[in-house]
Amino acid sequence: MKNYYTRLARLALAEYLNSGKKIDVPDDYPKELKERRAGCFVSYHKGEELRGCIGTFLPAKSCLAEEIISNSIAASRDPRFLPLTKDELRVLSIKIDILSPPEKTKIENLNPKKYGVIIKTKNCRAGLLLPNLKGVDSAEKQIEICRQKAGINPEEKIEIYRFEAERYEE
C-alpha cells in the first residue's frame, strides 16, 4: 500500500505535470505531515534508472508536507536529466527520504548503510549522498562520490556531517 509521503509526492507531481500548478497540502492528511519540519529528498525512478532526485538537508518550508510538495516539483526538473513528462507518470516509482538533522563527524564514524553524508568546504561548496545506496559500501566511497558531485578536489579539506534517513517507497 502506498504511504502518505509517496502519495503526496505523486499527487504534487501529477498536478504539476498536468497543469503546471503547485497543490496545497490536502486537508485530510495526517497531522505529522502538517506539523513536523525536516529536510527531505524526493527521488523518481523509471525501472532501475534514476529520473530525478532533489531535496533539502535542512527544512526550508513551514512543514514536511510543503517540503515534499516543493521537492517533488523540483525533482521533476532535475537539471541532470530531461524534465519528466505526463506520459512517464504511470511508470515512475517514488522514494522519499526524510532526514534527521546533520551532525558533524569523522570518516571512521560513518556507515553507508545507516548514515547519509554531507561534506562541506570552507568556501561553502557541499555534496550530499543518501544512505543505503546500491554500490556504495564504504565511507571512503561515500566521500569520493560527494566530492565528485560537488566538484571538490581530493586534496581539499572538508568537514563531514552524517544523518539518518527514514525511507518511504512505493
- Cβ-count burial 148-158 (b if 16+ within 10 Å, e if not): eebebeeeeeb
Each residue's pLDDT, cut to its tens digit, for the chain (170 residues) gives 358 999 999 999 999 999 999 999 999 999 999 999 999 999 999 999 999 999 999 999 999 999 999 999 999 999 999 999 999 999 999 999 999 999 999 999 999 999 999 999 998 899 999 999 989 999 999 999 999 989 999 999 999 999 999 999 98
- Are both 4-99 and 103-164 of the same fold? no
> Which value, to the nearest 10 degrees, does the dihedral of the CA atoms of residues 50, 121, 163, 81 take?
-10
Between CA 62 and CA 35 the distance in angstroms is: 8
- According to CATH, what is the number of the domain 103-164? 3.30.1490.150
Edge-to-edge strand ranges of the sheet holding 92-99? 49-55, 40-46, 92-99, 165-169
What residue segments make up the domains of the chain, in order of their start?
4-99, 103-164
- End-to-end C-alpha distance for the chain, whole angstroms: 8
Quick one: pLDDT at residue 1? Answer: 34
- According to CATH, what is the number of the domain 4-99? 3.30.700.20
Between CA 158 and CA 93 the distance in angstroms is: 34
Quick one: pLDDT at residue 69? Answer: 98
Quick one: pLDDT at residue 123? Answer: 87
| Placement of cell 515534499 in the chain | 68
Identify which of 64, 77, 13, 19 has the alpha carbon closest to the alpha carbon of residue 38: 64
